[in-house]
Amino acid sequence: MTRTILAAVLLFAATAASAQDQDPVTRRPRVPSRPDTTPAPAEPAPAAPESITLRGHEDWGTNGKLTFTVKRGGSVVMVDATNQPVTGTVTIRDARVTFRFTNCVYEGTVRGTAVTGEARFTSGPDAGKTWSFSVRSGD
């Protein structure tokens, strides 16, 4: 008799599970609802600033202040101790930054918020002369 009750319980359990898997009206198997797989909308990226200013110094010639204002699109404006703005271009490759102007080039390495390196005249009576520079954002 114990076996008969056990068999009945197992049969009832199987029937109850089967009944839950069917639509009670149509007797068709239920289709489990699928989770919503639509990705959530992405957070908008913060707007990039129009420019970033790097301030510091250079150690040759005017031996003084140096500012680069890097603008979107690859342009840069340099102001040194002469206080005369000079427009050029900037290129960045890995951690190397190059600022190019009509008669000189500044080549540096980015370390955190600082760029340090060497500059040189590329034309004119001082062509080939080099000097060091260091600038930092946020100063």
In tens, the pLDDT along 37-95 reads 777 777 776 766 788 999 999 997 657 899 999 998 999 999 998 899 999 999 999 99
The answer to whether 116 and 98 have CB atoms below 8 angstroms apart is no
CATH class, range 51-137: mainly beta
| Predicted structure pTM score | 0.65
Q: Rounded to whole angstroms, how far apart are CA atoms 74 and 40?
A: 34
Distance between CA atoms of residues 58 and 67, nearest Å: 10
Write down the pLDDT at residue 25: 63
Residue ranges per structural domain of the chain: 1-32, 51-137
Confidence of residue 2 (pLDDT cuts 50, 70, 90): very low
Mean pLDDT in residue range 106-134? 95
